[in-house]
Amino acid sequence: MDANAWAAVAAGCSAIAATVSLVVAWHAKRIQGRSADFANCVDVIERLGCAMRRVRDATEEHYRFEFIELLNLLEALAMLHNDGKIAPSTKRITRKFLDECLAWIRSDEGMKQLMADSVTGDETYMELKAFEQRRHREIARQAKSYAIQKGLR
The domain containing residue 112 runs over which residues? 38-152
- Flag whether 22 is in a domain: no
Q: Is the pLDDT of residue 108 over 70?
A: yes
- Flag whether 25 is in a domain: no
Instruction: Please give the tally of structural domains in the chain.
Output: 1
- Flag whether 71 is in a domain: yes
- Quick count: other Cβ atoms within 10 Å of Cβ 28? 10
Tell me how far apart the alpha carbons of residues 55 and 66 are, in angstroms, rounded to a whole number: 5
- Flag whether 147 is in a domain: yes
Q: Is the pLDDT of residue 152 over 60?
A: no
C-alpha closest to that of 133 among 32, 125, 118:
125
Average pLDDT in the 84-113 region?
85
- Flag whether 7 is in a domain: no
Tell me how far apart the alpha carbons of residues 19 and 21 are, in angstroms, rounded to a whole number: 5
Is the pLDDT higher at 69 or at 21? 69
- Flag whether 76 is in a domain: yes
Flag the least confident range among 23-37, 55-69, 84-98.
23-37
Residue 29: the pLDDT is 64
Q: Is the pLDDT of residue 33 over 70?
A: no
Residue 25: the pLDDT is 63
- Flag whether 11 is in a domain: no
Residue 153: the pLDDT is 45
Average pLDDT in the 51-80 region?
91
- Flag whether 33 is in a domain: no
